[in-house]
Amino acid sequence: MALHPVVKLVAQRISLGLLLLLAASVLIFLGTQILPGDVAQAILGQAATPETLANLREELGLNEPAVTRYFNWLFGVLQGDLGTALSNSQPIAPALGGRLANTLFLAATAAVIAVPLAILLGLISVRYRNRWPDKAISAVTLATISVPEFLLGYIAIFFLAVQYRVLPSLSTVYDGMTFGERLTAIGLPVIVLVLAVLGHMMRMTRAAILNVMQSAYVETAELKGLSPFAVIARHAFPNAIAPVVNVVMINLAYLVVGVVVVEVVFVYPGMGQYLVDHVSKRDVPVVQACGLVFAAVYIGLNLVADIVSILANPRLRHPK
């Protein structure tokens, strides 16, 4: 029996996503192997003797061929074992799980604010196209896109933490904090992340809606006497949902993967800060684990966007 076109396309997208993740694991492993310096030397210091270095390399498996080390690492990951940190000899998975939860909480909070706001601003921009609200929204969002995240962070710290003391400058979270305390602690990084992704989502929403505004069904809705905003929100926007979902998912992926700079600026205990700390220690297993998790999140969210686009296409859902 022939598969439904939607099922076939979804299966193809999932297979492609898994292949991309496998390719990403190869690139991550190769990238960590070509880093300058010696892991054993970094751990033991410059005063280590050649015999001590040789013993540690043997213990860490650094004398094995790169292909063998890659497959050992890959099979461990498939079994849920992300390895052991070289800097403290602790399993990586438990520490990474807590950091990932913090990063997801930060990204989710920013997304809850940014996504509805971007869609609303996009609708308003289309409603008042080429008039002052449209120009003002476009100018402000373009300015926020153009400013680097670290600069936005320092500006936010200066005004909201130093000048007016509205929010704390350091985003310290720990077990036992209430939900409200956590929201207060992450206030500044959330503001920076919202400003970083808001403009892109708004502009893509505006472009997608304008692309369908010349369609016959939109003209019919206008001839029926519906208000301009009702035409845009009820008729144009639902038919522009596929590209909007794509750009939303890409920006959600950025919120998780691209938080490294923001987490470092606000000393937030998330994945980005964890990665930077262990890059400085040349803790290769931790760097590999963080890179693989970031790749999985990015590929997974883009896969969700592809599947939603497929399901939103009526020609695929109802083939002739």
Tokens for 66, please give them.
């790169």
Q: What is the pLDDT of residue 23?
A: 95
Q: Residue 245 — left, alpha, or beta (φ > 0 → left; ψ -120 to 50 → alpha)?
A: alpha
> CA separation (Å) from 319 to 52, 253, 307, 315?
68, 32, 17, 6
Cα 217 to its chain centre, rounded Å, is 36
Mean pLDDT, 10 residues at a time, the chain of 320 residues: 73 92 93 72 72 77 81 89 82 89 92 91 88 90 87 92 90 87 93 91 86 77 77 77 80 83 90 86 86 91 83 63
In contact, 75 and 253? CB cutoff 8 Å: no
Q: What is the pLDDT of residue 3?
A: 66
> CA separation (Å) from 284 to 69, 187, 276?
12, 32, 12
| Interatomic CA distance for residues 136 and 117, integer angstroms | 15
| Interatomic CA distance for residues 301 and 107, integer angstroms | 13
Q: Count CA atoms closer than 13 A to 190's CA, side-chain side.
A: 22
Q: How many CB atoms lie within 10 A of CB 174?
A: 10
**Architecture of the 97-280 domain:** Orthogonal Bundle (1.10)
Furthest-apart CA pair in the chain: how many Å?
A: 86
Measure the CA dihedral 147/150/151/152, to 10°.
70
Whole-prediction pTM: 0.85
